[in-house]
Structure formats: structure tokens, C-alpha cells
Chains A and B, each alone.
Chain A
Amino acid sequence: MSKVTVVDYGLGNLKSVSQALKALGAEPQVTSDPEIVDRAERVILPGVGAFRVAMEALRSQGLSDAVLATAEKGTPILGICLGMQLLFDSSSEFGYTDGLGLIPGKVSPIVSSAPRSPAVRSTHIGWRTLDITPAGRSIRDFGGLRPDTSYYFVHSYGANPLHESDFYASVLYGGQNVCAVAGKENIQGVQFHPEKSAKAGLKVLESFLAI
């Protein structure tokens, strides 16, 4: 059985993530103990919440340092939704906030507030297919991603990887290619919710468990 540590910072979809991992036969350990995170074989940083509150929670519990330390050791890390955004340098959600800085780039609203058209909602919610980039094709097993399959998104902010090599897959929203999957070496993030994307999503988690 694959061991996987799910970081509990008081926000987020812990239950859904751990249930999905259990359905795949893994042994999820949900913890807010920095020492357990530091020793983990694999780490999942889940996410439902606001960037600023999440970073404050990670910092105050010593979890941001633990995630950075384990990342440094090469431990596979998967960020989900907000958990993916936290991997980046900073976000402008509810004021500028520094992130973990594991993947260079910033997090910003997916739809700029100025020219708004009702056809493009500020919150992107729904099942969408992905465009996998050449960088995404080069990763192992494509990270479990399939091009003709839909994944469930719900977000109003999105990550903007600074380097093309970290941009693995995009989703078309409001005429823009919004980052759907990003990564850098042992670090990977998905903007969609694999734990809520039916069988297609479970495949993504399965691929992470196999690393």
C-alpha cells in the first residue's frame, strides 16, 4: 500500500481527498504535525479556501517550513486547487501574500475585473478537458492525465508559471489558457479537483501514488 501524507492546515477538502486515496488502496495519513510532514514519503497539499488564510495557517503551525524541507529532499508533493496555488511565489487574493515559492510564478484572478461579460463568470466552475503542453507530455505517465477526459474545476484565481517548462496543461477559459497542471521536478500541482473528478480524477491520484 502506498503511504501518503495529507497536510491538514484547518481548511480544505481533507475528507474527500483521503476518501479518494482510500478508494485507491492507499493509506492516507492526515496530519498537522510538521515532523510527520517532514518524514513523509509523499505529500498532498489539499485546498479549499483563501490564499491568505491558508498561508497564515501553514506558517503559524510550522507546516510551511516542513513542506519546504520535505520538498528539498525530493519527496513527491501534489498540490490540489488552492494547494497548487500555494506552491507558487505569491497571490493577490485578498491582498498580496507570499506563497511557498516552490514553483516560480504568481497567482492572480482568472478574469480581470475591468471588462466583464456575463458570458465569462469570475468563478470558473465545471468539468473541462485539458490541453497537455509539450512539458506535460514529458512527465512520467503524463501525471495520469488524459486529453479527452473532463476534470472538475472550481476557482476564481489561477497560477501563472513563470517558465514554460513548469506549465504542464491548460484549460481554456474566457479565451485564455488558464494553468490546469503545473510542476517542477518532484513538485506537482493540479488546479482541478482529482478527488471530485470521478474516475478520471482518481487516475491522477493513482499516478501520483505510483511515483
Chain B
Amino acid sequence: MGGSASRPVRLVARLDIKGKNLIKGIRFEGLRVVGSPNERARHYYAAGADELLYMDAVASLYGRNSLADLVEEVVQDVFIPITVGGGIRSVSDVRTLLRAGADKVALNTAAIRRPELVTEIAEHFGSQCVVLSVEAKSTSPGKWEAYVDGGRERTGRDVFEWVSEGVEMGAGEVLVTSVDRDGTEKGFDVELLKGLSEISRVPVIASGGMGTVLHGVELMEQSEVDAVAMGRALHYDRLDIPAVRKAMIEAGVAVRKDTLV
């Protein structure tokens, strides 16, 4: 076991949203509607999720994030942190989302195009509020390229280099989504996550590929990640948060215990 036992590990429910619908594709493709995001969010809250991740799946294509209304509604009865990502381009976009009830924002496309945006947001709202969202696609053994626009566009940037730069610019957390594993339920890209989490001085959220309880436990045993995001397997009820939490506790991972009582 790495250092994971020494810090609290979070179980995050990831909701990819298009318009008003919860969707989920495989490797960001073939997006299907799987329900109402806020209804699922309430269900995950009741099941003891530590955090929610709301990602506007098509926002960067349209150039704006449309989740403020959904967030504003869900915070009426969901009292856990919510990170919102997709299409965020300015300090004023961030202000709108925070005022709607979001706690953090996840930046990808706009940050890669203009890394200073990370600094501007961090100086306004604090680094803890800026999550660098990185879509990583394997290019050769031990190498990953950063993608944008939901795994559609290459950037030519090496993931490790970009993460270092983004953290230098003020990101307080990194969300790493494996484009290759996203929606596959075949397990995380452990090599990628191990490498990044061992060098990062900010927390790393692992995303893409969690299909079974064992995938989560193995990742915690082999890497230093701080949080695991679960999407598709949760939405299709193939995985449930209490079972993941229980398995983590049995494996000696430091997770919140009181939700099981």
C-alpha cells in the first residue's frame, strides 16, 4: 500500500451531462441517456458518496457550461461537495457556477489554450477551487497525450508536462480521465495514475474504467491517488457506493466510515 492510508480517500460519483440528461458513452463516444442527473445525484448522496462531479459533456463544443441551473436545484437537498466542469472559460463563468452552489470547477480546454486562466481563477477563488481536468490518451508505452473536447481533439501536450504546468499555474487538484478506459468498466489505467499521483503535490482524482469494487481497491494499493470517480457502473447499478466503501475499509484504505453506520 502506498501513502493512501495516511490521507482520506474520496469516493466520487461522476455524472456526465448533456442538456438536462445524464449520459454515458464508452471512450467518450456513443453517448446514451441514462436518466436525470439530479435524481441520480440524490440517490448517490443518500448512498454516502463523498463528492459529486458534474461534467457538461458537450459544453466546450458550444463554448459554455449549462449546468448552473441543475446545480442550483440539486444543492437544495444534497449537502456534499460538487465539482462542475465543461466549457468554463472565464472568472465570471466560475463565479456563476460557485454562486449556483458548486464548490470547485474543473478546467480542461480553456486551460490548455490559455494556462493563465488557471492562475486568474486561483487568485480569485483560491487554488482549492480549481481542478485541472486532464483527458489522457496513451500514445506509446509510458507516454500519454492530453486531449480536449471530450477526448476528441489532440493537443500535442504530454500529460505529465501539462499537469506539472497546470499545478504551477495554481490548480489545487487534478482530475485524470483515461480516454482509453472511460466507460469501459475494465479497470483504471493504473500506470498513468501511479505515475501522476507519485509526483503530484496536489490531490489526484482517478477517472475512467472503474467497473468493480476490486478495480478501486487495486488502484489504491498500487498508486497514491486521492479519490476515485465512478460513472457508468454506478449509473447502471452494477456498482454501489456502500459496497465500494466497505471493500476499501477492509483493505485498510482511509475512507469516511460514518456513512455506513
Contact = CB atoms under 8 A, between A and B. Distances in A.
Interface of A: 10-16, 19-20, 22-23, 48-50, 53, 82, 93-94, 116-123, 125-128, 148-150, 152, 154-156, 173, 193, 195-202
Interface in B16-36: none
Interface in B231-247: none
Contacts of B216: none
A82 B100 CA distance: 18
B115 interface: no
Given A48-B129, A122-B202, A150-B8, 6 more contacts: A15-B75, A23-B79, A53-B124, A119-B6, A121-B200, A126-B7
Interface residues of B, number: 47
A11 B203 contact: no
B258 A149 contact: yes
Interface of B: 2-3, 6-10, 45, 50, 72, 75-77, 79-81, 95, 98-101, 103-104, 122-129, 172-173, 197-203, 224, 226-227, 256-259
A119 B79 contact: no
A200 B257 CA distance: 13
B173 A49 contact: no
Contact of B7 (A10, A121, A122): A121
Contact of A156 (B79, B101, B128, B256): B128
B224 A118 contact: yes
Contact of A16 (B2, B103, B123): B103
B81 A200 contact: no
Given A123-B202, A193-B81, A196-B81, A19 B7 contact: no
Question: Most B CB atoms within 10 A — which of A13, A121, A202?
Answer: A121
A15 B125 CA distance: 15
Contacts of B2: 119
Nearest to B204: A121
Given A49-B125, A148-B258, A156-B128, A125 B10 contact: yes
A154 B201 contact: no
Question: Most A CB atoms within 10 A — which of B125, B128, B129, B227?
Answer: B128
Nearest to A8: B99
A138 B129 CA distance: 34
Nearest to A47: B126
A26 B56 CA distance: 33
Contact of B123 (A10, A50, A120, A148): A50
Contacts of B45: 198
Nearest to A53: B124
14 contacts: A48-B125, A49-B129, A50-B123, A50-B124, A53-B124, A118-B198, A118-B200, A120-B6, A121-B226, A123-B172, A125-B172, A126-B9, A126-B50, A156-B127
Q: Which 8 A-B pairs have the closest CB atoms?
A: A126-B8, A119-B3, A15-B101, A127-B256, A123-B172, A150-B256, A50-B126, A196-B81
B125 A127 contact: no
A127 B183 CA distance: 27
Given A50-B126, A154-B81, A13 B101 contact: yes
Nearest to A199: B79
Contact of B101 (A10, A16, A49, A197): A16
Contacts of B126: 48-50, 82, 93, 156
Given A127-B8, A202-B79, A122 B256 contact: no
Contacts of A93: 126
A142 B10 CA distance: 27
B195 to A, nearest CB: 11
